[in-house]
Structure 1
Amino acid sequence: MQRWSFFWLLVAKLAVAELDCDGVTCEVESIHLLQHAHTREVRKSKAPERPEALASPFAEVLVLSINEEKYKLSKAELKDQGIVAVSRVKGFNASRDSELSEALALLTEYGNANSLHHTVSNWMLCLHTSPGNPPNFGAANSEFWRNFFRSSPRNVSELLDRDQHNCVPKVVAIAAAHLRLWKELAEGKLQTKEVEEKDPWYLVMEEDVDLCPYWRQRMEKELPQAPADAEIIKLYFFGHWRKEDEVKVSVRNDSEPATVTPFLDARDPLRGFDLFKAASYEFLHGASWSSVPVAGFYAGTQAYLIRPSSARKLLKQIRGKPFQDIDMTMMLSANNYVWRRVLAQGRPENVDLLQDGATESHGSAARTATATAPQCNMEPPSDQFW
């Protein structure tokens, strides 16, 4: 099934390979890239004069990091915004064999390394994407044909053994890093100060994420509107979204329409036909080979709110489940919601390059036909098939 899916994906891309963005689309992409590059300057210019005057809506920020310098940058920027309760949670460096082995051992402890989800294979993990990190179709094609006449890998160890293009280790390391964070949060090991609330929110951020201008004011106002059953609330997502997932609140007068809240219900991230429609929409609107996200709806673990009780539920729900991308695992194991107008955004790896003017390849990697990496504080674009 996976082989034929990949075959038709390649056919679809070849059919639209001649489509290229027109001058207007390219110009819009460049404008948004420059805006993204200047996120830090914009944030400083719009920062509240007295950030300490606003109460923190969470107990602490937990920065998941494998790079000490990136962590220090994140901590300094959060301090500038009045957040001083910041801790580093060390992730796993996938390029180091010892840490990769440690990550595999943790996944094995929870029974997540013994089998694979049907969406996971060597070639499919080469299509793994995130904002600024496009899918590697060349590696996926090579892995696909290399394993065409072989049986599918049965577990994470076999997945790693067959990996010829370094597509698997990072996915394994990221999954284990979030799993370890949930474990330590559930056990109370990450609490560094006394908090009055019994089960407070914690903000988890990956090391290369920036918070948007006015995030704190918005969170103060909008978090109380979150659904009562929310166990995880994502400040950021990429990929596509559904209008039907809008969270609405009924008004007292039945004749009046329901009020739309700031949140989307992050459910059914891997609904097959929706993924097909989303990719087709991108192709038909001129997206390039490297810019179509091969990801589920509401993807990403860049920044999210989580409670200790939510972490305990996740650990219970994921035990023994097949291995897959950690963001999909998280959404399928707890009640997840996302801010429709994102409060966080990925930090460009090379700001100087973006300031000097992004090349076509960088532009396609950072932005797709429907802007599947949402912009700070902006309503996500319409995500309809036509």
Structure 2
Amino acid sequence: MSSSDFIAREDRFGARNYAPLPVVLARGEGAYLWDVEGRRYLDMMGAYSAVSHGHMHPRIVAAAKAQLARVGVVSRAYYSDRLGSFLEKLCALSGLDRCLPMNTGAEAVETAIKAARRWSHRVKGIPEGKAEIIVAEGNFHGRTTTIVGFSSEPSYREGFGPFAPGFVTVPFGDAAAMAAAVTAHTAAILVEPIQGEAGIRVPPAGYLGELRAICDRNNVLLILDEIQSGLGRTGRMFCFEHEGIRPDGLTVGKALGGGLLPVSAFLARADVMAVFEPGSHGSTFGGNPLAAAVAEAALDTLVDEALVERSAALGETLLARLAAVRHGAIRDVRGKGLWVGVELDPAQAPAREVCLAMMRRGVLSKETHETVVRFAPPLVVTEAEIDHAIDVFQAALSEVAPLHRASAA
């Protein structure tokens, strides 16, 4: 079958809730993907940070195969010999006390919301049903109805209401606005350290530290969503480490599954996690032996192969090279570690058209809101591969917006 055949079948039988680029991928290895015709592509997307270890990392694949030969799913009705060591390792890396495993990022965020609300009622003393959580404009925390209910993106919300109350939205990166929004009913502040789906929006330096201080003054939980930014993506194991703070709650996912499985978790202080008792929350597949084995191998690989340090070093190269591109369509270049967004003027160079032009040249990225081209390759990418990707990006800009030809500074 050809690419067009596969695309036609997916379009015929699948829901139209995605607008993928017209490439049909069949195989991956390291920083590369191959389509069904055998053409190779350099992956500069990393599956939204889910493939931070590279495609089909041998160590993680071996861990999955070994566990598949033993047992896959037993449910949390029983203990397993794999879960405890995974939880211990993730707690040690994050500096938090306890971990509640789930499957998807949205499930981890829903778990965090439930924990914050129950903590606020039982510990802080906020009346039942009155708890509020402060979130940031431009947030993306998942696709459940509760989560899209506090999104500021109209396309995520349209037609899906009514939505749950109890959320207050303030501008992202504005600590003063966050402080002003706190009331006696505030249970938690929930933010992404860097907003991914909003276009790799980086807050001012010191923002997380200010949020930590606000929460400390007001007995409010600071919950950070590091589903995309965590596990080495920004050049630290967790993005909050850049500012030397620690949250009260943390959501992780994507790269936790090693590019093989959906694995997520909510981590928190012991007193916050203590609000859960048997029957109050759960997941049939959360923390299953296969997921635990794969996630533990993913964590070990990050540490043993120094992928976090690699992200920090190569991230400087990526950001510097992109910042050096001169083109009239470029409005901004921003990011941290191996996670950079290039904002374009859509009237001159629609981001999707640039991504299509890059795809034709063998480099894969994806647009965000028609204005931002993402650069978030697997952390195993090389400097030479980064240089090639930027050269392709410049050529794509010149093709899409020929009156504003790109050139290196």
TM-score (norm 1): 0.28
Higher share of residues assigned strand: 2
